[in-house]
Chains A and B, each alone.
Chain A
C-alpha cells in the first residue's frame, strides 16, 4: 500500500490498536518543562511509580524564567517554586535537566534540535502545543496535556486516534523580503485557525525544500495555529547535514543504521491525503496580523477586511477589532507601535537574529519603541555574540536579553502593558497573551525590525 510520510512514522510506532478507539503510540523522545509537568510528577508519586524511560526524557526550564539577571535567584516565589519542582523531579527520576544558567538551557523546541534530540522518523511529545516545531525533521511531534505527560512518563506511550492527513504544497519562488514566518501566516490566513483541526499536515513543494532547517522549524511550529495536530517535512540532505555530529544523534554504525530508516521517510508517489491545498509561493507578501487570532493575518500592504468579507460571526470579529483598537478598512502600514519582541520557539533562532540585524544595521531604534530581543537558547545567544550581531544591535540602541519563552506567553516579568501595541515574532496574538490588555501583531523578524527602527508598521521591502 502507498503510504504517506506521516503513515510510515505513525504506523511504525503503534504498540497496539484498540478497536473503535485510539492507537497506543510509542514515544521516542519526551521533552519536559516546568509549567506543565509538576502535576504529572505528582500523579506518578500518588500512583507510586517512576519514569519508565528517563533516558528518553529531557527537561529544560524556559516558560517561567526571567530574561535578565539569570545568575540571581528568581524573584517571583511561585516561579521559583515551579523551577525547583522541575529540578527535584528530574533529579529524583534520573532525567537530564538543563536548568536556568545551564549552558544548554533554552526554549524546549529550540534546544531539542540543537543537541540532536530531535531526529527524523521519531515520535516526540511535550506539554506545549508548539512541539510541532520538531516536525521540520520529519518527526511526528505534537503537544500534549498534563495527564498525557504523566502517561508518557509512566509508560512511554500515548493513546491517540490517528489524525487525518493533509498536504499543503507550495511551489514557486518566494519574493524578496518574504520569510518562512510569512509563508506560515499566509497559510493560516487561508485555512483559518481551525481549518486543519483533526489533521496532521505534510508540507511539500519547492518552497519548503529550499527553506533552511530553521525556516522549516518556523513553518512546522505554526501548524498548531490552524488547529493541526502537527506538521512535518520529509527529511533530506539538509536535514541529515544539520543533525550529523550533534550530541544526541547516533554515531558510527548506529548512524548508518539510522540512515537506513531515515532514507525511507518520504510520501510514496500516489499515496492519498484526506485533504490537499496548493498555493503559489510567488503570491505571498510579508504578512501581519490585525486581530486576536493567528488566522487574522494579511499582506502588510492591505487594509483590514470588512466584517462581511470574512467567515465566521460578525460579533466575534467586532469584539476582536475593538480589543485591538482598529477599524474595518484601515491600512496597517504607518500605524504606530510601542513594543517589538523578537524571540520564541517560532522566531528565536540564529537566522531570525541575522534577519533582524540585516535591517537594523546602521539605523537607530525608534525612540517610541521598547524592544525585547530574547534568544531561544544559550547556543543562539553565543552565536549572536560570535557573529558580531550583538555589536550591530547595541550600536542601533538595542539590548540583548537572556534565553527563555519571555513575552511569547508573558508568564515572567516580560509583559506588554495594557493597550500597547507589540510587533511580535512569536506565535499567538490572543487577547492578553503577552500581558493583560496587550495588543499583539504577529509578524516576521524583518517586519519586526522595520517597525523597531521606524516606530510604526513598515513594509520591510522598503529597507532592504
Chain B
C-alpha cells in the first residue's frame, strides 16, 4: 500500500533533547491493543506528556504551544528498544513527517522508512546547533530536501547533507512500498523458494 510521497519539507520543529528515547516512551505497551492503525498520535509520549490523572504535564515539549511543526528533533540513539511499528505510527499520526537525530536505532529507522516518515541523521554538532537555534527561537524553520539529501536551518543558512540508500529514497519520493517491489519479482521468489534447504 503506497503512502504519501516525500520531496521537500519546510517546517518549524519540536525539540526533544533527550538521549536513548526508547519506543516504550514513544508509545507505551498498554496502547498497543488496537487491531487497526488508528489514533496512535493521541498517545505519543503518553507518560511524558500526561500525568496519571490525564492532565497535561506543562513542562513537556508537546504541551508547549510555542513548539510545533512536522519535524521532531530527538537526542542521540532515538527509537531504541522494541520493534513496535506503533511507535512510528504514533509519530506519523501526531503529524510528524520527519525525525532528526544524530543516531537512530535500526528497527525504528526501518519502520519509519516503511511508513513514509523520513529519518534524517545529522552530526552531533549540527544536532546541537538545531537544538540551540530552535529553543532560542521556536519559529525557526528547517528545510528537508530529499532529492538533494540536504537539511538546512533556513534563517542561518547552516546545512548538512544526509544519507539514505537509493532504493529507499526512490520509494519515499514516489510513495512506493516494498511489497509493490517484491510483487514485481514474484517469479524470482517462487523459483528461490523451490530450492531452499529448510
Contacts and interface: CB of A to CB of B under 8 A. Distances in A.
A148 B177 CA distance: 10
Interface string A128-170: 1101000000000001111110110011110111010000000
Contacts, number: 200
B18 interface: yes
Interface stretch (B142-150, B151-159, B165-173): B165-173
B198 A258 contact: yes
Given A409-B29, A431-B24, A432-B24, A316 B75 contact: yes
A319 B18 contact: yes
Nearest to A20: B166
B71 to A, nearest CB: 21
A246 B167 CA distance: 41
Interface string B174-195: 0001110111011011001100
Given A22-B167, A128-B83, A432-B47, A151 B182 contact: yes
Contacts of A63: 32
B169 to A, nearest CB: 9
Given A24-B182, A431-B47, A261 B197 contact: yes
B88 interface: yes
Given A22-B165, A46-B1, A82-B35, A157 B107 contact: no
Nearest to A139: B198
A159 B81 CA distance: 21
B165 A21 contact: yes
A194 B80 contact: yes
Contacts of A79: 33
B1 A26 contact: no
B52 A411 contact: no
Contacts of A319: 18
Interface stretch (A37-45, A234-242, A268-276): A37-45
Contacts of B77: 193-194, 197, 227
Contacts of B32: 35, 63-64, 411
B19 interface: yes
A425 B75 CA distance: 28
Contacts of B166: 19-21
Interface stretch (B6-14, B60-68, B109-117, B132-140): B109-117
A432 B25 contact: yes
Given A159-B182, A411-B29, A197 B103 contact: yes
Interface in B103-135: 103-107, 110-111, 114-115
Contacts of A145: 83-85, 88, 107, 110-111, 114
Interface stretch (A119-127, A179-187, A442-450): A119-127
Given A145-B114, A432-B25, 6 more contacts: A22-B165, A26-B193, A143-B83, A155-B182, A159-B178, A436-B28
19 contacts: A21-B167, A39-B37, A46-B1, A63-B32, A78-B34, A81-B33, A145-B84, A145-B88, A146-B85, A146-B111, A148-B110, A150-B179, A154-B179, A159-B181, A163-B106, A319-B18, A430-B22, A431-B47, A436-B28
Interface of A: 13, 15-16, 18-22, 24, 26, 28-29, 35-36, 38-39, 42-43, 46-47, 52-53, 63-64, 76, 78-79, 81-82, 85, 119, 121-122, 127-129, 131, 143-148, 150-151, 154-157, 159-161, 163, 193-194, 197-198, 227, 229, 257-258, 261, 293, 312-313, 315-316, 319, 409-411, 418, 428, 430-433, 436-437
3 nearest A-B residue pairs (beta carbon)? A21-B167, A145-B85, A143-B83
Interface of B: 1, 17-20, 22, 24-25, 28-30, 32-37, 47, 52, 75-77, 80-86, 88, 103-107, 110-111, 114-115, 165-168, 177-179, 181-183, 185-186, 188-189, 192-193, 196-198
